Amino acid sequence: MSSHTYLTVKALTKYIKRKFDADTHLRDVYVKGELSNVKVHSSGHIYFTLKDDAARVTSVMFAMNAKTLKFTPESGMNVLVRGDINVFEAAGQYQLYAASMQPDGIGELFLAFEQLKKKLEQEGLFHPARKKPIPTFPKKIGVVTSKTGAAIRDILTTLERRYPISEVVVFPSIVQGPQAAPSIVKSIEQANGFGDIDVLIVGRGGGSIEDLWAFNEEIVARAIANSHVPIISAVGHETDTTIADFVSDLRAPTPTAAAEMAVPSKENLMKNILSYQSASLHFVSKKLADEKNRYKRAIESPVMATPEKLYRPFIERYVRAEQQLQRETSRLYREKGRHFAQLQNRFIQLSPQKVIDQHHKSVHSITNQLNQVVLSTFEKHRQQFIGSLRTLEALNPLKIMDRGYNITYKDDKLVKSVDDVQQGDSIFVTLSDGRIEAIVQQVEMKERGD
């Protein structure tokens, strides 16, 4: 058996890690190289590889350090990294734990500026079509800046000098330091919620790029882009350009210039008013002179010397029209009179009483004719009836039976022959004064030919 003692992988790794921990040179190292395989985790940790032509080292920057970066690390970027070297036990490899990072060759802020500018430009936030017009005569002007800085004094002085009739509302804001960006965003949102702000000046006085950096923050740029109130950016001096200048509706080189661009100049307005007044007076004077000349020419014209000639033809036309009207009126009166008389005669002819009288005579005549016909028919039928009565009287069997004849029935049938009965049959004899029921005792038939 071997006398060697075998270590576990874990024990070996811990041993190596203790070596790294003990090495003071690895606790604070400065390394430069090119970023590769950069991955930003949702937790905020940044994982990357730092490499050069000959070697590479796996690296990580935890979120607490990554959030202090002004720029976004990208693959291919040359950077300067400060951190420490240690062992990642789970993978069994050493790696660089970056505490800080800055671009190699260009400034960190410049890189962050360019990155954000490129990002927002690609989103269209700088497009001229998004720019809102600045009102020519604003009634209420909002100012977002420090209430104690020189910028607010310059802005208020300029507004008062150029356009004192406007109302100014100041939204105090922190304009420098870590709290500046959220403070500027809050003030812009307050101004938008104020209700009747016509234009908003956002800015501050000059300073270093670090002093002005709040106006390069993304949240400030998006607050300006989302503002429904037109915004004039006024950051630093004329040579200072920030992201806020690109996204705002109008960029002013200085706060004083922003105030000048926000309102018209009262001196210029007065000049314009005087100019318009002079032009108006000249126009009115010329118009009056022209009208006077027209009036003079009209008065002196031959027509106006004998003005009755102007309306004489109209009087003659009026007289002729009046005479024609009288003639036509008389003619129409006569025609209508004749027509009325004709209608009156027709009305008399068609009078309801007259029609009723005619129908009454007709009814009376028809009634007489009907009465004659009825009487004649009645008499005719009466004579026929009397004749029929006499005939019936003559043919009445009862009259015959009065002379001693009778009628015999058997079973309600008339007995017409001795063949209709037999001995023992029950018969009924009808006489003129009554009825006899009898039984046939004998039937004797009379000889034929008797």
pLDDT in tens, 260-306: 999 999 888 889 899 999 999 999 999 999 999 888 888 777 777 77
319-335, pLDDT tens digit by residue?
Answer: 889 989 999 999 999 99
Handedness of CA 279, 282, 288, 290 (dihedral sign): negative
Lowest mean pLDDT across 79-88, 201-210, 223-232 = 201-210
More confident residue, 34 or 111: 34
Whole-angstrom Cα distance, residue 241 to residue 252? Answer: 10
State the virtual CA torsion across 201, 204, 205, 206 in degrees, nearest 10. -120
Average pLDDT for 356-376: 90
Element (H, E) at 144: strand 140-145
Residue 60 per-residue DSSP state: E
Separation in Å, CA 386 to CA 111, 223, 341, 378, 379 = 150, 133, 66, 12, 10
Statement: residue 200 has pLDDT above 50: yes
Query: Using N-to-C axis directions, what is the helix angle for 150-162 and 255-262, rounded to 10°?
Result: 30
Statement: residue 450 has pLDDT above 50: no
Q: How confident is the model at residue 192 (pLDDT cuts 50, 70, 90)?
A: very high
Statement: residue 51 has pLDDT above 80: yes
Backbone angles phi, psi at 30, to 5 degrees: -115, 120
Q: How confident is the model at residue 2 (pLDDT cuts 50, 70, 90)?
A: low
**Per-residue pLDDT, 356:** 86
Percent of the chain with pLDDT over 70: 97
Separation in Å, CA 422 to CA 419, 436, 447 = 7, 18, 17
Most confident of 76-90, 220-234, 396-410, 424-438: 220-234
Percent of the chain with pLDDT over 90: 58
Helix (H), strand (E), coil (C) string for 32-45: EEEEEEEEECCCCC
62-104, pLDDT tens digit by residue?
Answer: 999 999 888 889 888 889 999 999 999 998 999 999 999 988 8
**pTM of this structure:** 0.53
Strand order in the sheet with 250-252: 167-172, 140-145, 199-204, 231-235, 250-252
Beta 93-103 vs 78-88: how paired, if at all?
antiparallel
Average pLDDT, the chain: 89
Backbone angles phi, psi at 86, to 5 degrees: -155, 180
